[in-house]
Amino acid sequence: MNKIGIQRIISMVLLIMLLLLAVACSTSDTPQAEPVEEEAVVEQSPAATHTPLPNTATPVPSPTDTAVPEVTPTSTPEADPRQILGSPVWGAVFTDGTQTWFQYDDANGKAEVRDNMLVLTSYRANGFDNWSMSYQPMTDFYLELRFTTGPECSGKDRFGILFRAPDSTQGYLYNVSCDGSYQVRLWDGEAFTELIGWTINENIVPGPDVEHRLGVWAEGDQYELYVNGFLVGEFSDSTYVKEGSFGAAYAAADTENFTVDVTEARVWNLPNE
């Protein structure tokens, strides 16, 4: 083989080597993607970014916001008849065996003098009005009874005074209830006539274990009603204007065996005009 032929062979070998080198470089520069198994795509919501809105709602008052306000020790009536009239002319004696109050025990209720007070118990929560009469006759007067409610007292469970009563079957009935309201009715022996409907008053403390002084100022056909020395209501009526007796009244509307104690009863003469 001549010199020219040998050079051609060498050139072809070099060309082949260069081609192989180029292929090797291109393979290493472009990595092959590995096969990936397909998975189900789960869409996710972006993380919550809470921005408080301004409070435009009207707040709901708590029970203490709407409850009937209690009389605080600093509450002083402008004109407490008890203080204006001086000494009473009569006072009940709550001793065992006393004949000052009518005592009984029947299907509806019980009135009993014991432990230096008149204990009144209404057996049934049926709204039946009971009363125990005193034997003191009066015409014009200021009368007060002090009541203390028992451990259970709610709704229209009530206590009060029957006054200007010609006998035990007639008269005006002034009641205060355990929800903080008062009422006046006329009882003619057969039916009630409402003179003042149930009315909430802030001077009547609702609930059990509460003491109240209930007072009635009776002068002719004009009447003023008091609670703890505060004037709570007035009315006029000429049905009973003559001399009559009075009694302690009670009734249960919500609580069976509702009890209330009368610890004091006093009468004052009215000042001369």
Query: Quick one: how far is CA 92 from the chain centroid?
Result: 34
The answer as to whether 201 is a domain residue is yes
For residue range 247-262, list pLDDT tens digits in order. 999 999 999 999 999 9
Residues of the chain with pLDDT under 50: 23, 25, 27-74
C-alpha to C-alpha distance for 176 and 249, rounded to whole angstroms: 10
The pLDDT value given to residue 224: 98
The answer as to whether 3 is a domain residue is no
Range of the domain at 187: 90-268
The answer as to whether 53 is a domain residue is no
The pLDDT value given to residue 124: 96
The answer as to whether 38 is a domain residue is no
Structure tokens given for 67: 């409850």
The answer as to whether 78 is a domain residue is no
Contact in structure between 211 and 148 (CB atoms under 8 Å): yes
| Residues recorded for the chain | 273
Provide the number of structural domains found in the chain.
1
The pLDDT value given to residue 24: 52
The answer as to whether 107 is a domain residue is yes
| Cβ neighbours around 123 below 10 Å, total | 17
The answer as to whether 59 is a domain residue is no
The pLDDT value given to residue 22: 54
Residue 235 burial class via C-beta count within 10 angstroms: exposed 0-12, middle 13-18, buried 19 and up: middle
The pLDDT value given to residue 43: 35
The pLDDT value given to residue 11: 63
The pLDDT value given to residue 135: 82
The answer as to whether 113 is a domain residue is yes
Instruction: Check which CATH number belongs to the domain holding 121 and give it.
Output: 2.60.120.560
